[in-house]
Chains A and B, each alone.
Chain A
C-alpha cells in the first residue's frame, strides 16, 4: 500500500512536470538566417530589441535580418523608406505577402506611426535619419520591450540606445569587370556590438547579397555563380 502510494505520487509528479507550462527562451526571440547566428547572442534576435545597422550595404543587411522572422510567419513594416527595393527584399528572403510599406505624412509623425505598429507587426524597419524627441524614443523602446516587436534602424546616427549594433566594415563586389561582367555577389565583413548580452564584439563574413540575392555563407572556396538563364 505504502509503496503503491509513493509510486502514485511519483507518477503524479511526473505528470505535473510534463504539463507545466514553461516560458521557453526561444519564445522570446525571433529566428534569423543561419549566417546571422554567429553574430547575435543566442543565435536569434531578442524580442523587444532595437537593432542598428550601419555602413555600406546597411539596407541589404537590414533586409536579410528581417528575412528570418519573415520566413517564420512574421509581418514586416517598412516605415518612411520608400526607396527600399522590394525586389531585393524578396530575394533576401522577406515574404512580400507580409510586407507593409508605411509612409508617415509628416516627418514628425513617424514616432506615432511606429508606436501604432509595435505589437501588431513583428519587424519594423525605419530609416536612421528620422528625428524624434527623446521622450518619443523612450516611449518607443518601452513599448517594444512590452509588446515584443523588433525595430531595425537603417543607417543614420545613433539615437535610441540600440541593443544590437551591426556594421558592415569592409565590402568587396565580385562579378563586375572593366567593361564586362555583372554584379554577382558582395563579400562583406559584419561586426556586431551592443549592450548587455551583445556587448562582446563579434564579427563574421558573409555574402551580402549572395548570388541568389539572399545573404549566404562565403564558403571555403570563392563562389562561382552563374547568372540565371532568364528573369524579368
Chain B
C-alpha cells in the first residue's frame, strides 16, 4: 500500500502486530507483538492500521488467478492461500511443475506490488512455515517434514501461553518439543498442548476425519431482487452466518473451513473456501463473507460477475467438535468480565485510550497515593485480580486508619483555616499547631470547625528536590457535618479529600 518492500512496515490491529514486512521481521518485529515492543525493536517502523476488507479485496484477484490450476483453493487469511498438491502434482507431472505454474500466475497477478513466496510441505502448518522462510520457493520433501520443523523455535506455534511455559522448561525448538512423549504432553498441557505437539511432529493438528458432512448443514438464502452491492448481500450474509453457527452448535461442532458460494442471476457460480486457524465464530464467518463479496463485486472488471447475486450459501467444509469455553464458576473468567472488557475496548476506541481507567493498589499514606488509575487497555480485564499485598504488608507510618475518604480531590481546594483571632493556623517544625482551628473558609464561605485532630506531618522523598513533599494534615469536622482532610503545604491550607 504505497510502501517499499525493503521498508520496515508493520500492520497493526488492536495495538498488536498482525503482519510485518521482511525488513521489519529481520529487525525482530513478530506477529502478535505489542506496538510499543515492535517500535522498541525497530524505532523507524512505519505503522499501518489494518483494514481487512481492503486486504480481501486486493487478494481476491490473486486467488482467482489460480482457479484454472486447481479447484479447492482455500484462503487462510487475506494474503495467504493454500491448496492440496496431490491432484495438481499428478496432473502436471510433479511438484516443481505446479510451483512454476503458480509462481508464474501469482507474479503476474501481483505485478510487483509485493513478493510471492511458496512453500510446499506435508500439512498446512509446515507449508506455511516453508512459505515464510522461502526465497521464493521452498519445497520440503514428502516424509522429511519433521526434520524441516525440528530446528525451528517453538514460538512459531503461535500459542503464546504454551510457548512461554515451554521456553521456561528449556524446550526451545519444535524438535525437542516433538521428542516429548504424547502422554506427558497431554498430561501437562491438555488439548492445546496435544494440538501443538501434533503440529511439531509435522502432523495435522487433529487426526483427519474423512466422513462427508451432511448436506443439511448447509445454509442458503435466495436474494430477490438480485443484489449487486456489497452491503445488500452482506446484510443477508450476517443472518446466514448466525443461522449456520446455530445449526452447527446444535450438533456440537464448530467450523474451521467454510465454503462461500454465490450464484448470479445469469447462472454463474462463484465459490471460495475460507479457513481459520482457530474456530470460525458467527461474526468471523460474516466478516469473511463480506470480504469475499467485496472481492467479487468490486474486483477487476474482467473478473466481476455479470449480474447481481441471487443466491448465497454457506457450506461448512471441515468441522471439529466444539470445545466451547468453560466460564468460571467461582471467580475466574465470567461472562460479566467478557462484557465489561468489550465495552471498555469500545469506549476506548470512541473516546481515546485514557478515557477508561481501572484502579490498581499501590502503597502510600494518603488516599490519592494508595490507588492509581491505569488505562484499561494495559491490563487484562477478564478474570482480573488485584493484589492487596502493598496495603496489607507494608507499614506506612503517618497513614490514617479506616475509613478512607469517599472523595479525593484531583485538584485540592485552597482554603483558610483560622484560629480564634482570625489569623491562619500554622504548624511548627515540631508538629504542633499554633492555635486551635475554629473556622474553615473556602471560596468566601466561612463555617465553624466543630472538632478536629492532628496535625499528622509527612515528609516524603526528602532526597529528591523535584518530588520532595512536606505537609501537615489535619482532620476537621465542620459545623455543617462535612469531614475533610486539610493539609498545610507550601504555606497554604488545602482540602485534599472529603469523607462524603
Contacts and interface: CB of A to CB of B under 8 A. Distances in A.
A binds B: yes
A183 B340 CA distance: 35
Cβ-closest 4 pairs across A and B: A232-B396, A120-B343, A227-B401, A209-B403
B351 A91 contact: no
Interface size class of A (residues with CB under 8 A): 35 or more
Interface stretch (B103-111, B314-322, B368-376): B368-376
A60 B406 contact: yes
A113 B373 CA distance: 19
B371 A86 contact: yes
B395 interface: yes
B403 A183 contact: yes
A119 B338 CA distance: 12
Nearest to A121: B340
A85 B401 contact: no
A102 B344 CA distance: 9
B421 to A, nearest CB: 17
5 contacts: A56-B500, A57-B500, A85-B407, A104-B351, A182-B453
B409 A171 contact: no
Nearest to B338: A120
B403 A176 contact: no
Nearest to B360: A96
Interface in B369-398: 370-371, 373, 376, 384-386, 390-391, 394-396
Nearest to B482: A56
A122 B337 CA distance: 11
A137 interface: no
B360 to A, nearest CB: 8
Nearest to B370: A87
B358 A100 contact: yes
Contacts of A185: 403
Contacts, number: 189
Contact of B406 (A59, A109, A117, A178): A59
Contact of B356 (A86, A101, A178): A101
A181 to B, nearest CB: 5
B367 interface: yes
B390 A232 contact: yes
B409 A83 contact: yes
Interface in B442-498: 451-453, 475, 477, 480-483, 497
A97 B384 contact: yes
A195 interface: no
A108 interface: no
B41 to A, nearest CB: 32
Contacts of A96: 359, 361, 371, 386
B367 A103 contact: no
A156 interface: no
Contact of B342 (A99, A120, A210, A230): A120
Interface string B402-445: 11111111100000000000000000000001001000000000
B205 interface: no
Interface in A101-126: 101-105, 109, 113, 116-117, 119-122
A6 interface: no
B499 A186 contact: yes
Interface string B348-369: 0011101111110101110100
Contacts of B399: 230-232
Contacts of B402: 91, 209, 211-213, 227-228, 231
Contact of B481 (A86, A104, A171, A211): A171
Contacts of A87: 367, 370-371, 404-405, 408
Label chain B's interface by main secondary structure.
Answer: mixed
B347 interface: yes
B452 A179 contact: yes
B336 interface: yes
Interface in A53-71: 56-60, 63
A68 B433 CA distance: 42
Contacts of B359: 86, 90, 96, 99, 101
B406 A85 contact: yes
A194 to B, nearest CB: 22
Contacts of A138: none
Given A87-B371, A176-B451, A232-B395, A59 B403 contact: no
Given A177-B453, A179-B453, A213 B475 contact: no
A75 interface: yes
A100 B337 CA distance: 11
Contacts of A17: none
A75 B334 CA distance: 11
B356 to A, nearest CB: 5
B340 A173 contact: no
B180 interface: no
A99 B482 contact: no
Given A101-B373, A232-B363, A91 B358 contact: no
Interface string B301-337: 0000000000000000000000000000000001011
Contact of A85 (B357, B394, B400, B404): B404
A29 interface: no
Given A60-B499, A176-B451, A182-B453, A105 B405 contact: no
B371 to A, nearest CB: 4
Given A176-B452, A232-B391, 12 more contacts: A56-B480, A57-B406, A83-B409, A85-B405, A85-B407, A87-B404, A100-B344, A181-B451, A209-B499, A211-B403, A230-B396, A232-B399
Contacts of B365: 232
A103 B451 contact: no
A101 B352 contact: no
A223 interface: no
B339 A121 contact: yes
Interface in A7-28: none
A82 interface: yes
B406 A116 contact: no
Contacts of B482: 56
B403 A88 contact: yes
B206 interface: no
B475 to A, nearest CB: 6
